[in-house]
Amino acid sequence: MRVRNLNSNFRSGLIVLILIFSIRLIGVGVTIYTGQNPYAQADVIGFIASAEEIAIGLENGNYVNVDRPTAYQRWGAFLAPFWLLPGPSLVYASIVNALIGSLAAYNVYTIAQYYHSRSAAVVSIVPLMIYPSIVLVHSTLLREAVVLFGITAATKSLLIPNHRSQSKNIIIVVGGLFVAGILRPDNIPLYIIAIGVGTFVHIYYLDIVRNIIMYMIILGGATSTLFFLNRIQEGISYLANLREVRTRGRTAYLVDIYATQIPEAIAFSGIGVAYFLCSPFPWMISNVSDFVVGVEALVNLIFILISPLGFRVLFQRNPAGAVGLGTGVIVGVILYALATGNVGTAVRHRQMFMWVFFLLGGIGITQHTQIKTNNNSR
């Protein structure tokens, strides 16, 4: 019976993966052959140019040697092998990137299915499957798909461990976060915080001696935080500078507001998070594309509001995983909110965090529906 369920889960998962990938393939076609993808501009042009430059250097026996590679060079190095192949390199790279984005959504599906049900898994991945913004981002050569895959693959291995191969779990976690960290180095502290907090919670549920050790570590961490307040201030200043750079273009919001001090960052974080996760708001919509993203933002809000129900389910089965994941998302969303100043950038970056709200919201919606159905049937 167990084998039959496993086979059934695998078949349903495979169907979902094929469907997700098929939708992204349509996005690839739209992007390449019609040029009607608003995300296939600016950065994408720079990434392609960097990939071509690195590929030409490799063909000539040279390689890019820089002490501090730029984002274009790091992602360009990942893309360069496609420009060493004969034929349409852009098509090859776009299809593979779309596949990686599809696998990221599939990871979310498997986590939701493991911790609740197939119904919860389907609800969780609907936004990742059909959101036009996510489909179009994954259909072009932006790094978001690979970063999302690295994060979800590591999370899946931590939340659904393969007890038959602990070394495989470690390789996937380290490999996934390593790739995600290379492409977005600013996220590395978030991964450390999430895993660290999850580890503390895991220790908390073991025995008294280890609890004492954990409290000593927490006390040391609090002391270190006070000691490194200057470093925190430097970080906030860095985020404010990033926001100043990004607060440009038609979709810029809250211009001339830069949180450069710790109290200012605390005061701005709430409204910044709202704009980061749920913009554009109705008064910001001026064309059809804005309206589409606005509908997505409304759905985001629904999943965010319902996510505590899913968090409770996850916490009951895996306290360490739930708290670690939740902490990483909360800290990450606040930091990105402080550094983001236009809707376009927010839409690209928030998918690194919204997938968690989709996961928890999907579980929460399904759980609430099941409870209501059971109550009505009595």
Q: According to the model, what pLDDT value does residue 249 have?
A: 82
- pLDDT, tens digit (0-9, with 9 covering 90-100), for 261-312: 888 888 889 999 999 999 999 999 999 999 999 999 999 999 999 999 999 9
Q: How far apart (Å, rounded) are the C-alpha atoms in residues 37 and 348?
A: 13
The number of CA neighbours under 13 Å toward the Cβ of 50 is 20
Sign of the alpha-carbon dihedral angle for 250, 251, 257, 262 = negative
Q: According to the model, what pLDDT value does residue 66 have?
A: 61
Look up tokens 């600013």; give the residue: 186
Tell me the CA distances in angstroms from 364 to 116, 206, 299, 323, one per residue in order.
9, 28, 14, 16
Tell me the CA distances in angstroms from 71 to 115, 177, 187, 353, one per residue in order.
36, 17, 13, 20
Q: What is the DSSP string of 341-364?
A: -BHHHHHHHHHHHHHHHHHHHHHH
Judge whether 63 and 57 are in contact, CB under 8 Å: yes
Q: What is the DSSP string of 205-217?
A: TT-HHHHHHHHHH
- pLDDT, tens digit (0-9, with 9 covering 90-100), for 167-196: 888 889 999 999 999 999 989 989 988 988
Q: According to the model, what pLDDT value does residue 6 have?
A: 57
Q: According to the model, what pLDDT value does residue 210 have?
A: 58
**Burial class (CB within 10 angstroms; exposed 0-12, middle 13-18, buried 19+) of 111:** buried
- Give 37 or 224, the one with higher predicted confidence: 37
- pLDDT, tens digit (0-9, with 9 covering 90-100), for 329-376: 999 999 999 999 999 899 999 999 999 999 999 999 999 888 877 777
Sign of the alpha-carbon dihedral angle for 251, 256, 260, 265 = negative
Q: According to the model, what pLDDT value does residue 217 have?
A: 65
State residue 252 phi and psi, 5-degree precision. Answer: -65, 145
Look up tokens 């919509």; give the residue: 285
Q: How far apart (Å, rounded) are the C-alpha atoms in residues 251 and 15?
A: 37
The pTM of this model reads 0.91
Task: List residues bridging with 275 in a β-sheet.
Answer: none
Task: List residues bridging with 252 in a β-sheet.
Answer: 342
